[in-house]
């Protein structure tokens, strides 16, 4: 075995030196006990951090640490009880581990970071700890990261509902749609849930910085925004508006299918998904199929074109421009006998303010979409997750994506616990 000095260098815990190393001879993967001692004779108090040399007693403690090659490592240290001038009798502060933790901080970080890309059970086996230990480590890592990272002040936020599990279990998600991060989560989609999110998850400064809220036309959300964020404007999510348009187109299809008789039925069977797709995403032979369908039914064609035109709602720079477009769109419906599209026209007209608000607040709809996709992926993976706080932390981590370089990773795994700013 190398000198104790070499071992201290390899162990790499600032302020501590290796005293002795014990391990089973001959086994290539036996556990190694590394006995460490503090450099110097002054011990920090766990209350105030002040160092003192007045020691009351000492007790041997152990921590699991990162392995040395194939050898799992146990650190052994005699933790003192010190007499602090300010705090009285206290245990000594251990820099490499949290109070009462059974693993060192750097092992905890390693487990926690691993848990973000593999199941907890897998990470537990990999690091030779129990499932519960791994889960606690993960939660501690995520909670500390969330607590210590700088708070962002996004101009635009999103308020959206997600469905969780079967039946009518809904959750409300608050997100930062500028940076694409989840900020908060509440059960239900009521006005109270939305208002609680806006008041409890955001600081006063954060609320003051918000200029626009991207949401759907769900009335309770609009009420909550109106009550809590008086100076912010509501921008309706493009995706939701177009969903209404697709629903109207689908109604036209259904009507036509039953009305138009044999010819239409022959062309129209099994075309629902094709018809609801956007023209720009339809290719080759599928385009021909659609064209044949449209040749057989002009009303369906008209409705399809009207739906496609709605994309232009988000290309105008001024609110009067949007209004003119909607009025023109409604005018084009005259004599077409498409009641479903007329209803859609009414709907657009009634919600014109929230649609036109996009001119002044160009919310990144793509980011809203990608947050929703990410949330669904996490929920699918976390089928059995009952811990709401843990779920929120996981969502924050996945959407904030804090490890992007080797440097970020090194910061997360450093024994002192320096945190990434991302």
Q: How far is the CB of 414 from Zn ion (least distance, A)?
A: 26
Number of residues that bind Zn ion (CB under 5 A): 6
Per-residue binder mask for Zn ion (CB under 5 A), 74-103, x = binder: ----------x-xx----------------
Rank residues 48 and 295 by Cβ distance to Zn ion and give the closer one. 48
Rank residues 45 and 140 by Cβ distance to Zn ion and give the closer one. 45
Q: Which alpha helices (DSSP H) does 154-237 contain, by range?
A: 191-200, 204-209, 219-228
Per-residue binder mask for Zn ion (CB under 5 A), 291-330, x = binder: ----------------------------------------
CA dist., res. 132 & res. 281, Å (int): 47
Contact 210, 232 (CB under 8 A): yes
Per-residue binder mask for Zn ion (CB under 5 A), 189-228, x = binder: ----------------------------------------
Rank residues 87 and 260 by Cβ distance to Zn ion and give the closer one. 87
Neighbours of 265 (CB within 10 A): 12
CA torsion through residues 127, 133, 137, 139, sign: positive
Radius of gyration of the CA atoms of the chain, in A: 30
Q: How far is the CB of 147 from Zn ion (least distance, A)?
A: 23
Q: How far is the CB of 105 from Zn ion (least distance, A)?
A: 21
Stretch that binds Zn ion, among 41-49, 185-193, 279-287, 368-376 (CB under 5 A): 41-49
Length of the chain: 422
Q: How far is the CB of 70 from Zn ion (least distance, A)?
A: 41
Q: Using CB under 5 A, which of 45, 123, 249, 391 touches Zn ion?
A: 45
Contact 299, 258 (CB under 8 A): no
Q: How far is the CB of 51 from Zn ion (least distance, A)?
A: 10
In the chain, what are the helix, strand and coil shares in percent, each to the nearest 5?
50, 20, 30
Rank residues 47 and 128 by Cβ distance to Zn ion and give the closer one. 47
- How far, CA to CA in Å, does 146 sit from each of 205, 228, 394? 18, 24, 10
Q: How far is the CB of 77 from Zn ion (least distance, A)?
A: 20
Q: Using CB under 5 A, which of 48, 70, 274, 295 touches Zn ion?
A: 48
Q: How far is the CB of 135 from Zn ion (least distance, A)?
A: 32
| Element (DSSP H or E) covering residue 6 | helix 4-11
Residue 201: closest CA among 223, 224, 219, 222: 224
Q: Using CB under 5 A, which of 23, 47, 119, 128 touches Zn ion?
A: 47
Stretch that binds Zn ion, among 44-52, 144-152, 153-161, 290-298 (CB under 5 A): 44-52
Positions in 341-380 near Zn ion (CB under 5 A):
none
Rank residues 47 and 119 by Cβ distance to Zn ion and give the closer one. 47
Contact 98, 140 (CB under 8 A): yes
Contact 302, 334 (CB under 8 A): no
Q: Provide CB contacts within 8 A for 202, sequence distance 6+.
A: 174, 183, 184, 210
User: Given the rule CB under 5 A, which residues bind Zn ion?
Assistant: 45, 47-48, 84, 86-87
């Amino acid at each position: 075995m190398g000198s104790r000095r070499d071992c201290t260098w390899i162990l790499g815990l600032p302020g501590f030196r290796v005293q002795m190393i014990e391990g089973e001879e001959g086994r290539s993967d036996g556990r190694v006990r590394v006995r460490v001692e503090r450099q110097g004779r002054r011990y920090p108090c766990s209350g105030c951090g002040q160092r003192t040399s007045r020691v009351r007693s000492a007790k041997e403690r152990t921590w699991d640490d990162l392995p040395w090659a194939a050898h799992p490592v146990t650190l052994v240290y005699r933790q003192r009880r010190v007499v602090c001038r300010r705090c009285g009798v206290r245990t000594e502060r251990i820099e490499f581990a949290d109070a009462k933790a059974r693993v060192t901080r750097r092992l905890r970080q390693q487990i926690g970071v691993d848990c973000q890309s593999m199941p907890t059970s897998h990470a537990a086996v990999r690091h030779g700890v129990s499932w519960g230990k791994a889960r606690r480590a993960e939660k501690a890592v995520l909670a500390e990261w969330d607590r210590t990272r700088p708070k962002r002040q996004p101009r635009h936020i999103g308020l959206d509902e997600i469905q969780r599990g079967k039946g009518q279990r809904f959750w409300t998600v608050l997100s930062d749609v500028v940076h694409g991060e989840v900020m908060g989560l509440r059960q239900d989609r009521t006005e109270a849930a939305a208002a609680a999110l806006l008041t409890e998850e955001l600081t006063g400064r954060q609320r003051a910085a918000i200029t626009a809220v991207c949401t759907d036309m769900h009335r309770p959300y609009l009420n909550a925004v109106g009550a809590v964020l008086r100076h912010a404007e509501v921008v309706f999510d493009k995706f939701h508006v177009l969903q209404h348009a697709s629903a109207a187109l689908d109604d036209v299809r259904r009507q036509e299918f039953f009305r138009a008789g044999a010819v239409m039925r022959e062309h129209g069977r099994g075309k629902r998904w094709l018809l609801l797709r956007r023209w720009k995403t339809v290719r080759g032979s599928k385009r021909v199929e659609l064209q044949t369908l449209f040749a057989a039914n002009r009303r369906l064609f008209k409705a399809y074109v009207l739906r496609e035109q709605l994309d232009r709602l988000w290309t105008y720079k001024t609110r009067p421009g949007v209004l003119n477009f909607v009025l023109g769109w409604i005018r084009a419906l005259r004599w077409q006998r498409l009641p479903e599209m007329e209803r859609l026209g009414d709907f657009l007209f009634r919600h014109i303010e929230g649609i036109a608000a996009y001119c002044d607040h160009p919310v990144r709809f793509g980011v809203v979409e990608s947050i929703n996709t990410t949330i669904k992926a996490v929920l699918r993976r976390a089928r059995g997750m009952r811990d709401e706080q843990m779920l929120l932390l996981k969502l924050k981590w996945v959407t904030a994506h804090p490890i992007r370089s080797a440097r970020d990773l090194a910061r997360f795994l450093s024994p002192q616990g320096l945190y990434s700013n991302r």
